[in-house]
Structure 1
Amino acid sequence: MKKICFALLISTVLMACAPHRNLVYFSNLNDVSSSQIQNVPELKLQKNDQLSLSLTSLNAEYNVLFASANNSTSNNTISSRSGFRINNNGMITLPLLGDLKVEGLTVEEAQNLITRELKKQIKNPVVDLELVNFKITVIGEVNHPASLTVPGDQVNLLEALGMAGDMTVYGKRENVLVIRETNGVRKMTRLNLNDKNVYDSPYFHLKQNDIVYVEPDKSKEKEYNPNVRALPIITTCISAIAVLLTALLR
């Protein structure tokens, strides 16, 4: 009988023990480590991207065409900032210039294209182009899941997690899913943030409309499983009974 009680006690202890999890980012990083910084992949403009265009021109006629209620003019110089959406054909439509294909270009390449075309029409155009709807979504085991608008056109996975309040203790750092759509094709990959080599992944630097999903570990699943919620109570009762029987049978 004593052996049975002892076995019950050992089983209870083993059931209560949770598996070890590595909660440290880049846990295989040495105290001193260096690596060649990878070039950040250039962001390419996509359909439905929203662009902000700032134009300074000395051409009064073109200024009239380009002007709107929000524009300000002074001494034949106009600074205009308007929203332009890339349509389903990859085009933006500009006054005087008409449709320009910008899908697949970087922001700098699109800016240079617009400047070259404007030079055919007006004197000394100065163009500043920005992407204003660089959005990513971070969901799952983070403290503040949300869709996030990123200033500029560069953000990496760690920065995105930081903007979402970092992972909870239940988040699988070794299994972070990044979902990306490119030219109508959805691609998914899993990244291990316990591994310093994650920096080399082309998915470490995020692109517009990427989705980051942090998967919960099994302990979180068990915590919210109604069939498992009673387990601590059951194991406690078994332990108490085992201890009581051991004391009575001495």
Structure 2
Amino acid sequence: MIKKIGIVFFLVVFMSSCIPKKELTYFQGSPQATSEVYKMLNEPYRLQVNDILDINITSDNEELVAPFQQSQTSRTNTNGQINEGQFYLRGYTIDHHGNIRLPYLGEVNVLGYTEKEVREKIEEELGKFFKDSEEIFITVKLAGIRFTVLGEVANPGTLVMFQNQVNILEAIANAGDIVLTGDRKNITVVRKQLGGVKKYHINLLDMSVFNAESFYIHSNDIIYVEPLRQKSWGTGTTGVQTFTTIVSVLSFVTTTILLVKTL
């Protein structure tokens, strides 16, 4: 009787502790919907507080644009490559009022603007300092999106991607992807907003993730991948690990019983 109970216990624990394939497969859907085109929300990124802008201004009036060019030069190393640390020191950081401080123009509000809208605004304001015959060329780029990934990923930490748009999949991929014990259907995104924070939940196992409001992340987002319940049980993430754990436990119990009987 005890032997039968032990076998049943072994099977129940073994079957319930293994992680099924459906918990690991991204973008699941019904067979009828596999060829369906999912519309993605793809709006331009709007600038937030603490974003850093890389602004480059060139003109045939070299004296007038010299302050901007000096700032641009200091953000590259001797090989002409981008120096991430210098963006923080020399880039144009959006303060808590939504402003950046530019030569000649002083405080310029850019909160909620797109890169294009900022460029057009600077062109309009800076154009007042140029003669009609002088050419001016302005580029405005977001100096990377900074975010933090925590929880069940291979390489948790704070990352910066030098793109003007980053989605949740790219963010997690740059953190080394979700490990076996990560709950892919329960991803939390914490986003700072004026007056507080907002929390979003994302299910990466479903194709609807592409329509999620938080599919594209913002600067300073915190992404947290929760663990599956199998991790809290401590029985292993694969069949082999689970089998080894259970055998070890049963061996310990058996040895203990035999020792008690011999006393």
Normalised-by-shorter TM-score class: 0.7 to 0.9
State the AA in 1 paired with 2:214.
Y
Cα deviations across residues 79-109 of structure 1 (Å, max 9, x unaligned)? xx95212222211111111111111111111
Cα deviations across residues 98-156 of structure 1 (Å, max 9, x unaligned)? 11111111111111100111111113321111111411111111111121111121111
Structure 1 residue 29, shift from structure 2 partner: 5.3
Structure 1 residue 180, shift from structure 2 partner: 0.9
Select 2:142's aligned residue among 118, 131, 134: 131
Does residue 26 of structure 2 align to residue 18 of structure 1?
Answer: no
Greater Rg over alpha carbons, structure? 1
Aligned-partner Cα distance in 1 for 2:55–2:228: 45
Select 1:103's aligned residue among 107, 111, 114: 111
User: Higher mean Cα deviation, 11-20 or 163-172?
Assistant: 11-20
Aligned-partner Cα distance in 2 for 1:166–1:58: 48
Cα deviations across residues 147-185 of structure 1 (Å, max 9, x unaligned)? 111112111111111111111110101111111112232
Change beyond 3 A, Cα 1:201–1:63:
closer
Change beyond 3 A, Cα 1:69–1:12:
closer
Larger helix percent: 2
Give the TM-score normalised by the residue count of structure 2.
0.76
Select 2:93's aligned residue among 67, 70, 85: 85
User: Higher mean Cα deviation, 22-31 or 204-213?
Assistant: 22-31
Structure 2 portions without partners, runs of 5+? 75-86, 236-243, 258-263
Aligned-partner Cα distance in 1 for 2:57–2:2: 84
Cα deviations across residues 179-221 of structure 1 (Å, max 9, x unaligned)? 1112232111211111111111111111111111111112212
Give the conservation status (yes or no) of the 8 Å contact 2:71–2:91: no
Aligned-partner Cα distance in 2 for 1:214–1:204: 15
Give the TM-score normalised by the residue count of structure 1.
0.79
Aligned-partner Cα distance in 2 for 1:58–1:124: 6
Aligned-partner Cα distance in 2 for 1:89–1:69: 23
State the AA in 2 paired with 1:33.
S
State the AA in 1 paired with 2:103.
P
Percent identity over paired residues: 30
Larger strand percent: 1
Does residue 166 of structure 2 align to residue 155 of structure 1?
Answer: yes
RMSD of aligned C-alpha atoms?
3.0
**Residue aligned with 2:155, SS:** coil
Select 1:188's aligned residue among 192, 195, 199: 199
Question: Which residues of 2 match residues 94-243 of structure 1 at below 5 A?
Answer: 94-122=102-130, 123-223=134-234, 233-236=248-251
Paired positions, count: 229
